Structure 1
Amino acid sequence: MNEEKSTTNPSTVPKGAQGRRRISIHQMQNVLLVWLDSTIDESNGECQNTISTLQRAVNDVNTYTDGDQCLEFIQTVVDNKVCMIVSGSLGKHIVPRVHNMSQVDSIFIFCSNRTYHEEWAKDWRKIKGVFTDITLICEALKEAAHECEENAIPMSFVGTNKNLDQLDPSFMYTQIIKEIILTIKFNQKHIQDYINYCRDAFEGNKKEIENVKLFEGQYHKKTPIYWYTCDMFLYPMLNRALRLMDGDIITRMGFFTGNLHRQIEQLYKKQYASTTAADTFTVYRGQGLSTGDFEQMMETIGGLLSFNNFLSTSKDRNTSLAFAERAAQNLDHVGVLFIMKVNPAQSTTPFASIAGISKFQGEEEVLFSMHSVFRIEDIKQMDENNCLYEVNLVLTADNDPELSRLTDHIRKESFADAEGWGRLGLVLSKLGQFNKAEDIYQVLLHQTKNDKEKAPIYHQLGMLKRKQGKHKEALTYYEKSLALYQKTLPPYHPTVASSYSNIGNVHYDTSNYSEALFAHEKALEIKQQSLPSNHPSLANSYNNIGLVYCDMSNYPRALASHEKALKIRQKSLPPNHPDLAMSYNNIGLVHENVDNYSKARTFYEDAIKIGQQSLPSNHPNLQMYRSNLADTLTTLNLSYNGIGDERAKYLSAALQNNTTLTTLNLNGNGIGAEGARHLGDALQNNTGLTTLNLDRNTIGAEGAQHLGEALRNNTTLTTLTLRLNKIGAEGAQHLSDALRINTTLTTLDLECNRIEAQGARHLGDALRINTTLITLNLNGNEIGAEGARHLGDALQNNTTLTTLSLYNSKIGNEGAQHLGDALRNNTGLTTLNLNWNGIGADGARHLGDALRNNTTLITLNLNGNGVGAEGAQHLGDALRNNTALTTLNLELNSIGAEGAQHLADALRINTTLTTMNLAVNSIGAEGAKHLRGALRNKRVSLSLCLDNHHSRIY
């Protein structure tokens, strides 16, 4: 009996856009048709006839009259190729928008003026022609659809160094399903069920309804190979189902798959009964491969290539080469000519020459049964454009040691003890296709009368109902299963334990934790009595108990339980078994719950790595693992958490190898020099963090030294904020020394650190060399006029710093002069903040003189500087000539009405200023009048303060 392992409760609901009309179902082909024309009217008889004609080439026709709606639909297409018919009037605009979409295979222009549209259409390679006759489009469309089907055959690659537990899931499951189908006895009811299904699916499609009737009446009168090679729904439907591992369609077509295989096998035995190695022959196949598949094949030279469907090949090289050459013309494909060497004397996947048997009797076709495996010998380029390649393959024999090893492993992993329909249900469940599996088990249940045989079916139904989220039904089935097992088995039988485990899982899903814990501990007790200490089933119980404890927030017990489960699984299972992925995921959840994000991510990544190698790409568990990883934080805000130096040590240890956290906020955590040392050590190795906020800590000069040493080697940090850390001039020197070497830091915030003039000198020296720092905040550092001189001297040469903030730095008018001198030559600074620096009218004069020539500064903040009317005059005079400044802030400067008049006069001439803040300047009504007159024809937003209320004049 298979025991279900509890996980979190994944739910995946596929999303897709519905076309304005969906005429056929997409499961029937690998290609669909989109017809875009603003004149389409499906109530019109002629239009209906056109659609019927198109359906003779492609079953799934989607009509649109609006280009945007059509584009939106195409963007939702994932598992199909799109052939597109577009009217000439819309084509010129829509083709550039869809041409580079990988899902769009080919485009056909339908118009009345062929000559005109051919002129622009020749520039787009996916356009297959410009047509005025829908019949001719249908012929071209048939060929395009056929090529899409041929290019979409499912295949898997197995490298020479591939571990058994790293196999492509499609490689494993196509072989398993083939083996199962060949053991099932299908009857006429199964055939009729499939016919009824197709009849419903093709409702409204005259061509395919005729084919369904033909198939129903003639199926037993023709051979399976005949039907497979017919131009009808069977081949594309089966091909697509095997490519996507669609359990529903594969099961419905099981009777046909089995019959087709058996006919090929009979022909193989007849045609090649007395052959030897001397009879080795070559067949060919030409098709297109996506660039992704081609690159994977290039990496698998020497390894195995499996065609996971029935494989059509030809003895005619030229015919196959033509297919490959046509495929090479597609932007999204690489043209491939497979050259396959076949030794008929070796026992292998059966194949047969079907000349004279298929619908097309003139072709030299050799058809291989499902899941034929070849070894890739080499790959050679055939053209100069890297678009066409020759791939030499050799058909493997059953005694090939590597293939034998793979086959044995696959059988062990696929419920080898089960049989027929029951085994198929188990495989479909493992594939995540729960509804189809349930259908199978309900049929089996109604056919079974024996209690011993009913118990495992109830168990499987319970498992499926749980996975469908129907917990009440699941619990009912599990309890029925347990009751029957208790009647028919000893009390300490492992199967009884499994029933308790599954009941516990349902209680866990519904947050009934006490019942869940009771059931899981009961299961563990039975297993400990009946199984070896490293049996995988014990790991399942520890896993389930761990999940319950995790949801109860008892993380120590949760982690201990999961680690016990992992330890057992590592000893008893292959290193990449799906159950190991589950353990890694669940341990990751515990670490995430205790804020250990780095470890959580590591475990999630391990879970995904294993899941990708052992589960189908659409399996709910794999999607859940990816979701958990996506939820791992990239931004962590730990402000005001009292971390201190000791906890900073542990945090730093996590940062050493973390590659996901990009922003870390440790504002106000009492981190001193020792904590800064730990963080600095982490930054030496960390390659992910880009922003570190250590505001309001106490790292001091020593801590700044540790961070400076880290910056010499760190190559990812771009923003470092160290406000209020008392680093002083000495700390500024350590950071400045680092800036001479560092090439990635773009923002450094040292507000309120008492660096004074000496610290400004060190930073100025660094700015002469540094070419990456963009923003420097030195607010409240009391650098004075001398500090402003050092910075101004540096700005004479620096061309990369764009923002300098010196709010409340006591630079005075002398400091303003030094900075003004710098602005005369500087070509990089765009924002200068000199709020509250007491520069006065003289300082405004120096800055105004600089602004006459400066061509890069766009924002100047001079709030609270007491420039007065005279200073406003100097600035106004500058604005008459300045052509760069867009924002000037002069709040709280006592400029009065006279100052407002000077600025107003300047605004009549200035053409670049867009924002000026004159709040709280006592300009009064007279000043407002001057400004209003100046702004009548200007687009400047002006903030004023009249009677203690802010106003705006436009």
Structure 2
Amino acid sequence: MLDINTNLSENERHQILWLDTTDKNSDTCKRQRCSLSSIVTYSSIEECEEYIRHNEHCRIALIVNDPVKTETITKLSELEPVTAIYFRTSENARDKSEASQLKKIWHVTTSLDIDNLIERIKNDEKKRTRASESLVFNIFQTDSSSPHEMTSTEINGEFLHSQLLLDSLLTMKASNNELSLAIAHCRTEYQNSPSDLSKVNEFQSNYSSEHALNWYTQDSFVYRILNRAFRSQNIDVLYLMRFIIRDIYKQLTEQQNEATMPNDKVYRAQLISKEELENFAKGNLVAMNSFFSTTLTRAYALFLLTSGQVEHQDLAYVLFEINISRRLTGAKPFADITTKSAFPVESEILFMAGSIFRIVDIQLENNDVCVVKLVLCGDDDHNLKTLFEHMREDIPPECTSIAYGIVLANASKLEQAERFFRNILNELPIDDPLITHCYHQLGNVLDDKGEFEESLDYFEKALAKKLETLNEDDPRLANTYTCCGVGYLRKNDLKRAIFSYQKALDIYKNAYGQDHEDVAMCLFNIGDVNIFENKFEDALDMFQQALNIWMKCLPESHPDLARSHMAIGNAHVQLLNGGQALMHYDTALKIMISSLPSDHHELAALHDKLGNLYYSTGDNEHAQEHFEQAFLIKRKHYPSDHSSMVDTYHAIGLIYRDSGDYQRAVELLEQAVAIHRNILPPEHESSIQLLQDLTGAKAALTLMMSEMA
């Protein structure tokens, strides 16, 4: 997303200047303060202009007193930092309609009440800022493109997991320390801002769930911290502020049921990057991942968009025109929040974060404003519903309170997921049954991070605690047996791995029959053991059995289907069936793109597989594309010396060697060797091969340098 705001503080960004050439009101003005900033006063036009020019990163609201000339107002309005001008005049000093036509004039008043004017400026600045803030959204495409044409718009996985994360926040049970933890964070965040700290104190003393919307609509830290967290997808802050997100959801639902909407169309003014606008043209659905504020008046939305905004060659003026229906089922709540707002004179329709809209049309109007027509969607209006519900049901009811961490882990947000589960473990009493589930989930996270020893330790702890309270044939034991089997397989302890998998398989078959998805998972895992045993035909049979069962009971875009296709592809590679392997890898890639975030660690593994397959056929161009995709994903999750980086460094190094770029090849192969030394002994087969490749690349580089000399 293109963030057009600077890193200045809120008070530095938003300033009010008062230009009063009569200098009658300067003493009064100096005493005025507002939460946007201190008012800066000038009686000299030249000094005022100089100040504006030297504060080019600020957003300045300018109060101008009559008798400043029209030419002067026009000149000041052309300065980029000036976003709005408020003209104070007497009844007879100047024709009000003439003044209101000047550029960037937001209000002409004859009132001398400065307090009311300051309140209006605060309210207007909030609206202008909202139009220029980055909009956080995910695009969903119903038609997948070729898996080899990977673009930034293929973000169906982000679309799905952002919905799951929000759902887990809303369904999480309230805890006694929610408010105190959020307050502590806010105190740290605003420790250098006395005005904000004062608001934090007021919030701590006076907040209640029925005032959530009032606090959100105030020009205060609540709006800023929530929207910044949504914009940056700061999942730690969103978790801390979950109570107010939940309360806003509740208030919107109540208000939607009680209040009536005067019409079925609303509008939103927005500056977005031209690249993002192109993504709208390619997508079918859009999910707004933050609270989405709209107005009932089209003309007012256009005024917000075109008045006082900074022109930028990479930005587009967009007017969202949204059709809504109160009869929709399953849509996120929306409501006219005027009566709940801190600014009740402002008519505002607020949509819950995560609201989904269908993209109907995009048109360019004569004023260079692009109109994006949207229709609010309910659950039955998009084909992710089945997959979403199934992935939500994957979280056991007894794990609702830790669902946020599970969704983070499934989205490959491994550091955040680990931190979440460790924090929960530190807070729980020693006899809390949730500890067992945290052990299990933490084991999953650590396994995905490649920390296999500690992962197995947590799986074994979880199994031991379950065995204390559950019968031996309880299905809740089977999942932990399966995870222990994964840990044993990582250690090459095939005997204990197959014992654990078979134990889980027997429990699941006894409880659910032959065609259950958990039975398929056990067959899949036994196939993994067959791969380790070099029994590739047996492995292929197990993977195919698992796929056949999953195809009966899972949505067509479920990640487990991708995993089975990937495993079948692996078996075909070992059996030298390259064409079959590529077909299954491509199918797996299409499913993963539609169901997993684009930086998911399993996508990196699949790109590595595709890279190796293409390299084996001599197609180095496609091989390099996939290896580099894998590298980009791994770099987000692992340090540069992580064991998972070895294969990628090695593979890309060989491609550079083959292309004659021996210098780059040596650099990459040396990185691979340095990491590999910490994993396997030098006499290991892979260590010997890697060292031979490095030696060969160095020899070729030396020869090339000598020939050049």
TM-score (norm 2): 0.62
Stretch moving more, 192-201 or 147-156: 147-156
Question: Structure 1's 509 and 244: CA in aligned 2 closer, same or farther, altered over 3 A?
Answer: farther
Q: Give the SS at the match of 1:33.
A: coil
1:341-373: CA deviation from partner (whole Å, max 9, x where unpaired): 334466654333333643444432221223333
Question: Structure 1's 461 and 635: CA in aligned 2 closer, same or farther, altered over 3 A?
Answer: closer
Q: Does 1:422 align with 2:402?
A: yes
Q: Choose between structure 1 and 2 for higher RCO, CA contacts under 8 A separated by at least 6 residues.
A: 2
The alpha carbon displacement at 1:324 in A equals 4.4
Structure 2: which amino acid aligns with 1:462?
A: G
Cα pair 1:379 1:390 within 8 Å, conserved:
yes
Q: Give the SS at the match of 2:515.
A: coil
1:624 maps to which of 568, 591, 605: 605
Distance in 2 separating the partners of 1:286 and 1:453: 46
Distance in 2 separating the partners of 1:659 and 1:311: 43
Counterpart position of 2:294: 313
Cα pair 1:282 1:340 within 8 Å, conserved:
yes
Counterpart position of 2:547: 566
Counterpart position of 2:323: 341
The alpha carbon displacement at 1:395 in A equals 3.5
The alpha carbon displacement at 1:581 in A equals 1.4
1:852-878: CA deviation from partner (whole Å, max 9, x where unpaired): xxxxxxxxxxxxxxxxxxxxxxxxxxx
Q: How does 1:891-906 map to 2 (within 5 A)?
A: none
2:182 maps to which of 194, 212, 234: 194
Q: Does 1:33 align with 2:6?
A: yes
Distance in 2 separating the partners of 1:261 and 1:521: 45
Cα pair 2:141 2:282 within 8 Å, conserved:
no
Q: Give the SS at the match of 1:336.
A: strand
Structure 1: which amino acid aligns with 2:500?
A: A
Distance in 1 separating the partners of 2:201 and 2:180: 11
Q: How does 1:357-376 map to 2 (within 5 A)?
A: 357-376=340-359
Distance in 2 separating the partners of 1:226 and 1:54: 22
Distance in 2 separating the partners of 1:381 and 1:328: 19
Distance in 1 separating the partners of 2:527 and 2:310: 54
Q: Does 1:413 align with 2:391?
A: yes
Q: How does 1:391-410 map to 2 (within 5 A)?
A: 391-396=372-377, 401-402=380-381, 406-407=384-385, 409-410=387-388
TM-score (norm 1): 0.47
Distance in 1 separating the partners of 2:56 and 2:475: 63
Cα pair 2:131 2:270 within 8 Å, conserved:
no
Counterpart position of 1:332: 314
Which structure has the larger Rg over C-alpha atoms? 1
Distance in 2 separating the partners of 1:603 and 1:409: 21
- Number of aligned positions between the proteins: 516
Question: Structure 1's 408 and 547: CA in aligned 2 closer, same or farther, altered over 3 A?
Answer: closer
1:235-281: CA deviation from partner (whole Å, max 9, x where unpaired): 35433544565432221111010112222233333322xx7xxx534
Q: How does 1:214-229 map to 2 (within 5 A)?
A: 214-220=202-208, 223-229=211-217
Q: How does 1:769-788 map to 2 (within 5 A)?
A: none
Question: Structure 1's 564 and 659: CA in aligned 2 closer, same or farther, altered over 3 A?
Answer: farther
Cα pair 1:156 1:307 within 8 Å, conserved:
no
Unaligned residue ranges in structure 1 (runs of 5+)? 1-25, 35-50, 59-106, 111-127, 133-138, 638-654, 663-949
The alpha carbon displacement at 1:312 in A equals 0.3
Q: Give the SS at the match of 1:413.
A: helix
The alpha carbon displacement at 1:186 in A equals 2.7
Q: Does 1:606 align with 2:587?
A: yes
The alpha carbon displacement at 1:299 in A equals 4.4
Structure 2: which amino acid aligns with 1:316?
A: T
Q: Does 1:247 align with 2:220?
A: no
Structure 2: which amino acid aligns with 1:422?
A: I
Counterpart position of 2:673: none
Distance in 2 separating the partners of 1:161 and 1:552: 37
Q: How does 1:159-170 map to 2 (within 5 A)?
A: 159=142, 168-170=156-158
Question: Structure 1's 541 and 390: CA in aligned 2 closer, same or farther, altered over 3 A?
Answer: same
Distance in 2 separating the partners of 1:661 and 1:238: 42
Question: Structure 1's 529 and 356: CA in aligned 2 closer, same or farther, altered over 3 A?
Answer: closer
Q: Does 1:388 align with 2:388?
A: no
Distance in 2 separating the partners of 1:257 and 1:221: 10
Distance in 2 separating the partners of 1:236 and 1:594: 57
Question: Structure 1's 206 and 169: CA in aligned 2 closer, same or farther, altered over 3 A?
Answer: farther
Cα pair 1:167 1:613 within 8 Å, conserved:
yes
The alpha carbon displacement at 1:323 in A equals 4.6
Q: Give the SS at the match of 1:389.
A: strand
Structure 1: which amino acid aligns with 2:136?
A: I
Question: Structure 1's 504 and 409: CA in aligned 2 closer, same or farther, altered over 3 A?
Answer: closer
The alpha carbon displacement at 1:453 in A equals 5.9
Question: Structure 1's 109 and 178: CA in aligned 2 closer, same or farther, altered over 3 A?
Answer: closer
Q: How does 1:440-459 map to 2 (within 5 A)?
A: 441=421, 447=428, 455-459=436-440
Distance in 1 separating the partners of 2:473 and 2:10: 67
Cα pair 2:272 2:318 within 8 Å, conserved:
yes
Structure 1: which amino acid aligns with 2:280?
A: M
Counterpart position of 1:522: 503
**Structure in which a larger fraction of residues adopt helix:** 2
The alpha carbon displacement at 1:479 in A equals 2.0
Q: Does 1:271 align with 2:228?
A: no
Structure 1: which amino acid aligns with 2:341?
A: S
Structure 2: which amino acid aligns with 1:607?
A: A
Unaligned residue ranges in structure 2 (runs of 5+)? 16-54, 59-77, 83-120, 146-153, 625-706
Question: Structure 1's 465 and 591: CA in aligned 2 closer, same or farther, altered over 3 A?
Answer: same
Distance in 1 separating the partners of 2:231 and 2:158: 8
The alpha carbon displacement at 1:493 in A equals 3.6
1:452-481: CA deviation from partner (whole Å, max 9, x where unpaired): 765444322332333344433332332233
Counterpart position of 2:680: none
Cα pair 2:482 2:501 within 8 Å, conserved:
yes
Cα pair 2:209 2:244 within 8 Å, conserved:
no
The alpha carbon displacement at 1:505 in A equals 0.8
1:8-28: CA deviation from partner (whole Å, max 9, x where unpaired): xxxxxxxxxxxxxxxxxx9xx
Distance in 1 separating the partners of 2:423 and 2:10: 41
Distance in 1 separating the partners of 2:339 and 2:435: 49
Question: Structure 1's 167 and 577: CA in aligned 2 closer, same or farther, altered over 3 A?
Answer: farther
Q: Give the SS at the match of 1:491.
A: coil
